[in-house]
Amino acid sequence: MATIEFADVTKEYPGASEPAVNHVSFTVREGAICMLLGTSGSGKTTLLRMVNRLIDPTSGKILIDGVATTASDPIKLRRGIGYVIQQVGLFPHLTIAENVRIVPSILGQPANLTTGRVDELLTLVGLEPKEYRRRYPRQLSGGQQQRVGLARALAADPKVMLLDEPFGALDAITRERLQDELLRIQGGVSKTMIFVTHDVQEALKLGDQIAVMSEGKLIQFGAPGELIMSPANDFVRRLIGADNILRQFEYLSVVVALEPGAAPTSVRIGSDATLMRALLTLIETGQNALTVEDDGNVLGQVSLASMYRALGKTGALPGVSADSAEAPKRRATPAAQ
């Protein structure tokens, strides 16, 4: 695992009127999945490719575990970095197993991958080795090729993974399956990942951290919940769909609606639950409030009213302003319209 720090990174392509990446600074936590989210042309790919030095910054630095990427030879640097792109780029004349095996040898790693390890990697991405290892890329569907691309990037056991819209061209169902696969893999092998997408749903689902880009600039950087709870501006608010109440319930932690004291019922919920889980638990148990706990310690309680108040602060609920959220007993008077 590794931290990746972008320190005032700028990239100006020759002849362009505006920088493609404009003074961007943020730090990806060790072992986190950081999503680069933004509209087309906002500089996501440029930023990503500066990490493995396919592009060098015009100014600023990128530090991996505190060491500037420019301090190492690009080839050596790339040994520690897996790179997955949308056009998978498998070698057509090599079998699937050979495609997976080839990356470590290209990178000059001493030992070849054993057949056992190749099979392990294929299994990891959900491809039955017996069925697939001897096939050629053209004998696989697009989604299956994408999985091989992922297995191949994992083969060198890099501590950093860069993924540029790896699931962009896939249908919604396959895409969701691969997203789940990625989360499962991340649960086991835990690498620091930077993942480019323009799909908000994907960013919210996969991201521990999200960097929102627009026209080369970093507009906001934070956890999904932070972006939904307090979008930096209208652009982020609209992009994230921060006003969408379902989205809030789905992605905000129950902790945002916490109020002091234990609930007067025995029903408890973990602090890692979402508002949605809390809401469903309230409905299923017919209770008015739930105690929120963390490792057996009571953190507080939540109720429909406390959620309503918490979401009122985000401005998502009509007729609930921050003021009425502060004074729960006072019913908000219907807005004169």
Binding region for ligand ATP (CB under 6 A): 13, 16, 20, 38, 40-46, 198
* Contact assessment for residue 197 and residue 35, using Cβ atoms and an 8 Å cutoff: yes
- The DSSP annotation for 237-274 comes to HHHHTTT-HHHHHHHSBGGGG-BSS--SSS-EEETT-B
Residues of this chain, 95-154, that bind Mg ion according to CB under 5 A: none
The whole-angstrom separation of Cα 188 and Cα 225 is 24
The secondary structure of residue 193, as a DSSP letter, is: E
Torsion of CA 189, 195, 199, 202, to 10 degrees: 10
**Best CA proximity match to 21, nearest among 181, 219, 205, 230:** 219
- To Mg ion, the closest distance from the beta carbon of 210 in angstroms equals 16
**CB–CB of 164/85 below 8 Å?**
yes
Rounded to a whole number of angstroms, the minimum distance from the CB of residue 57 to ligand ATP is 13
74 binds, among Mg ion, ligand ATP, none (CB under 5 to 8 A by kind): none
CA–CA distance, 176 with 146 (Å, rounded to integer): 13
Q: Where are the alpha helices (DSSP H) in 69-165?
A: 74-79, 96-106, 115-124, 129-132, 142-155
Task: Pick what 177 binds: ligand ATP, Mg ion, none; C-beta below 5 to 8 Å, kind-dependent.
Answer: none
Q: How far apart are CA 215 and CA 136, in angstroms?
A: 40
Q: Which residue sits closest to Mg ion, CB atoms considered?
A: 45
- Binding partner of 91, given ligand ATP, Mg ion, none, CB within 5-8 angstroms per partner class: none
CA dist 81 and 84 (Å) reads 10
Minimum distance from residue 200 beta carbon to ligand ATP (Å):
13
Strand-pairing partners, residue 329, are none
Nearer to ligand ATP, 56 or 323 (CB): 56
∠ CA 242-51-28, nearest 5°, is: 45
Taking the complex as a whole, how short is the minimal distance between the CB of residue 21 and ligand ATP, in angstroms?
7
Nearer to Mg ion, 28 or 121 (CB): 28
Q: Smallest distance, Å, CB 195 to ligand ATP?
A: 12
16 binds, among ligand ATP, Mg ion, none (CB under 5 to 8 A by kind): ligand ATP
When the beta carbons of 3 and 86 are compared against Mg ion, the nearer one is: 86
DSSP state of 336: P
Nearer to ligand ATP, 83 or 132 (CB): 83
Based on its alpha-carbon atoms, the radius of gyration of the chain, rounded to whole angstroms, reads 23
Whole-angstrom distance, CA of residue 168 vs CA of residue 299: 40
- Both ends of the chain: CA-CA distance in Å? 54
Helices 115-124 and 142-155: angle between axes, nearest 10 degrees: 130
- Cβ nearer to Mg ion, comparing 36 with 77: 36
Shortest distance (Å) from residue 168 CB to Mg ion: 9
Residues 31-70, interacting with Mg ion (CB under 5 A): 45
* Residue with Cβ nearer Mg ion (45 or 220): 45
DSSP helix/strand/coil, 108? coil
**Position 208: which residue type?**
D
**Residue 337 interaction partner, one of Mg ion, ligand ATP, none, beta carbon < 5-8 Å per kind:** none
Whose Cβ is closer to Mg ion: residue 155's or residue 211's? 211
* Residue with smaller CB distance to Mg ion, 119 or 165: 165
CB of 49 to ligand ATP, least distance (A): 8
Residue 198's binding partner, choosing from ligand ATP, Mg ion, none, with beta-carbon cut-off 5 to 8 A by kind? ligand ATP
Residue 6 CB, nearest approach to ligand ATP (Å) = 14
User: Minimum Å distance from CB 82 to Mg ion?
Assistant: 18
By beta-carbon proximity to ligand ATP, the closer residue of 19 and 241 is 19
Residue 46, binding choice from ligand ATP, Mg ion, none, Cβ under 5 to 8 Å by partner class: ligand ATP
Residues that bind Mg ion (CB under 5 A): 45
